[in-house]
């Protein structure tokens, strides 16, 4: 009886498994799952505009209330990292700005305020200068000593200026009137001194090396050491991993170039020695009595016109 009961149990389990498998294969098990975005996130995202030059003369006010623009910051001929946030954001902005802070502090070879600048623009046209100043103080006080807190500015602006800037960089967001908050994406947007967009980084916890390579890339030769330039040439940005990865092709090309250069340098003494061997050159050699004798190439004895042979 016990064996019969166990047999029936196994049969019921097998039938159940077959039913589940058939339902999954037919797609019936996923009827209740929606692949669409939540309604609050509709219209939110980033349309990358790499290589495009953004309007840099849009008017904003910094945390001191002084009117400014990206053109003013870019006058230093250094790259600018742009973030779009707002001080009353309940979570995402805080996470991003904390990540930016960590990434900057991990970069020891570049200095904020000297080699690059940070500009965080509020997407809330109602944000006050006082609130922007408080946010700037909160983050600048945690910067490491080599960085200049004045290099990270927090701006407010009119609805028109904000709309033109966000549109230029492809930053799409919406306002939730019910909860009085903005639904928005997050990205650090790297700008070259010309105002050209060179890179978008989507990390929340920024990797220091990724941040540095993006800044060097945006600097277009104006930022970083020669070794940084070589390192940048040997890597490429992987958008799937959101970081810079080694490029095997570039590394092999560099290695081949170094090998050829070393070969040419090593052959210089050989070619110089060959050029020094001139036909008919004489060499002076000291003799036993203190005088010098000239040793030259032996002059061959001319052969007679005819040779007599006796048989």
pLDDT at 213 (0 to 100):
87
Residue 249 sits in the same domain as residue 148: no
Q: Is residue 12 part of a domain?
A: no
Q: Is residue 182 part of a domain?
A: yes
Q: Which residues are CB-contacts of 162 (< 8 A; sequence separation ≥ 6)? A: 121, 122, 123, 125
Residue 109 sits in the same domain as residue 152: yes
CATH number at residue 89: 3.40.30.10
Q: Is residue 23 part of a domain?
A: no
Residue 241 sits in the same domain as residue 130: no
Q: Is residue 201 part of a domain?
A: yes
Measure the CA–CA gap between 156 and 127, rounded to whole angstroms.
7
Residue 215 sits in the same domain as residue 263: no
pLDDT at 70 (0 to 100):
98
- Number of residues written out for the chain: 311
Q: Is residue 105 part of a domain?
A: yes
Residue 100 sits in the same domain as residue 240: no
Residue 204 sits in the same domain as residue 145: yes
Measure the CA–CA gap between 40 and 178, rounded to whole angstroms.
11
Residue 157 sits in the same domain as residue 199: yes
pTM of the model: 0.66
State the Cα angle at 76 between 188 and 130, rounded to 5°.
Answer: 60
Run of H or E including 311: none
pLDDT at 265 (0 to 100):
61
DSSP 8-state assignment for residue 28: G
Q: Is residue 253 part of a domain?
A: yes
Residue 245 sits in the same domain as residue 118: no
Residues of the domain holding 111:
45-221
Q: Is residue 28 part of a domain?
A: no
Q: Which residue has tokens 């980084």? A: 201
Residue 154 sits in the same domain as residue 238: no
Residue 89 sits in the same domain as residue 238: no
Helix, strand, coil percentages (3-state) for the chain, rounded to 5, are 40, 20, 40
Residue 146 sits in the same domain as residue 68: yes
pLDDT at 14 (0 to 100):
46
Total domains in the chain come to: 2
Residue 63 sits in the same domain as residue 171: yes
Q: What is the mean pLDDT of each run of 10 residues along the chain (311 residues)?
A: 46 43 41 55 91 98 98 97 96 94 93 97 98 97 96 98 98 95 96 95 84 88 52 54 50 44 60 60 50 50 50 44
pLDDT at 254 (0 to 100):
40
Q: Is residue 214 part of a domain?
A: yes
Contact indicator for 175, 182 with CB cutoff of 8 Å:
yes
Last residue of a domain, one of 188, 221, 254: 221
CA dihedral of 39, 166, 142, 72, whole degrees rounded to 10:
-170
DSSP 8-state assignment for residue 146: T
């Amino acid at each position: 009886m016990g064996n019969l009961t166990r047999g029936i149990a196994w049969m019921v389990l097998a039938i159940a498994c077959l039913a589940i498998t058939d339902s999954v294969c037919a797609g019936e098990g996923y009827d209740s799952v929606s692949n669409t975005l939540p309604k609050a996130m509709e219209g939110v995202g980033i349309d990358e505009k790499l290589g495009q030059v953004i309007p840099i003369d849009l008017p904003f006010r910094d945390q001191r209330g002084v009117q400014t623009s990206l053109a003013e910051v870019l006058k230093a001929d250094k790259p600018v990292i742009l973030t779009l946030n707002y001080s009353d954001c309940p979570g995402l902005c805080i996470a991003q700005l904390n990540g930016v802070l960590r990434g900057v502090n991990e970069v020891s070879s570049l200095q904020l305020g000297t080699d690059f600048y940070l500009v965080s623009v509020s997407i809330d046209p109602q944000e006050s200068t006082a609130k922007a100043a408080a946010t700037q103080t909160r983050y600048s006080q945690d910067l490491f000593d080599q960085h200049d807190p004045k290099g990270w500015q927090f701006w407010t602006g009119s609805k028109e200026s904000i709309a033109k800037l966000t549109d230029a960089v492809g930053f799409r967001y919406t306002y939730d009137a019910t909860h009085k908050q903005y639904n928005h994406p997050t990205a650090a947007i790297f700008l070259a001194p010309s105002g050209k967009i060179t890179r978008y980084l989507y990390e929340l916890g920024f990797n220091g090396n990724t941040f540095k390579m993006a800044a060097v890339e945006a600097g277009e030769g104006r930022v970083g050491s020669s070794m940084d330039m070589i390192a940048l040439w040997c890597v490429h940005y992987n958008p799937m991993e959101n970081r810079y990865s080694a490029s095997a092709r570039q590394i092999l090309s560099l290695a081949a170039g170094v090998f050829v250069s070393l070969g040419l340098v090593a052959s210089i003494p050989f070619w110089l020695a060959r050029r020094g061997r001139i036909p008919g050159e004489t060499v002076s050699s000291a003799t036993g009595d203190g005088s010098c004798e000239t040793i030259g190439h032996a002059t061959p004895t001319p052969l007679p016109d005819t040779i007599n042979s006796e048989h």
